[in-house]
Amino acid sequence: MLWTGFFLPLIVIAALPLTARAKGGPPGPDGLPQTNPKHPWKLFSGTPRIDTLSFAPRDVLPAARKQFESDRWQIFTMDANRGEIVTRWKPMHHPLLLIFMGHVNARCTVTLQPLDRNRTRMVFRGDLASHRNLEGNPMLGAAKRAYAKAARNYVAEVRGSLNAHRQLSSLEQ
């Protein structure tokens, strides 16, 4: 019983092919670790999540940034003129990801487009970077579902923050 409960998983993990490791140097300015040119990062972009918010872009941008920071993402770039926020790449720490997808890093991009004075289109997109080709990976379906849920939650949190701020502003007047 001890053999199957403890040693079998260790043998399975040891039998998996070793993933290409990042070089020993520091990560690049965007947070993505340096890599060996023989084993470059393979990027996978998530399906963009598009929502319309009943707020001006000048109000949405700081709320979107604040939500990323509250979700423990670091901002890599924020360009108010282009209405874009890009997070730094960060490693995903999940045992199943490591086993099935290797070392995976993720980043998020939000782009805001004014529709009129008080309406903004928000496009949320997540990207993954791995040394393995993620197409056809058995974990890709679960990763896509988790991404879709996280994107929905992010937009809901930003909208909730903006609505709460609007209600507080109307109380102050």
Q: For residue 103, how many other CB atoms are within 10 A of its CB? A: 20
Closest by CA position to 111, among listed 132, 82, 89, 136: 82
Q: Please list the pLDDT of the chain residue by residue as tens digits (173 residues).
A: 544 444 344 333 434 444 444 455 677 878 898 888 888 999 999 999 999 999 999 999 999 999 999 999 999 999 999 999 999 999 988 888 888 888 899 999 999 999 999 999 999 999 999 988 888 888 888 888 999 999 999 999 999 999 998 765 444 44
Q: In this structure, are residues 64 and 122 in contact, taking their beta carbons and an 8 Å threshold?
A: yes
Burial class (CB in 10 A: 0-12, 13-18, 19+), 67: buried
Domain residue extents for the chain = 30-172
Enter the tokens of residue 52. Answer: 């319309």
Q: Can you give the pLDDT at residue 100?
A: 82
Q: Quick one: DSSP state of residue 31?
A: S
The Cα–Cα gap between 151 and 124 comes to: 7
Burial class of residue 91, CB neighbours in 10 A (0-12, 13-18, 19+) = middle
Looking at domain 30-172, its CATH class is: alpha beta
Confidence at residue 55, expressed as pLDDT on a 0 to 100 scale? 96
* Interstrand relation of 104-116 and 75-79 (parallel, antiparallel or unpaired): unpaired
Residue 77 structure tokens: 């770039």
The maximal CA–CA distance of the chain, rounded, in angstroms, is 69
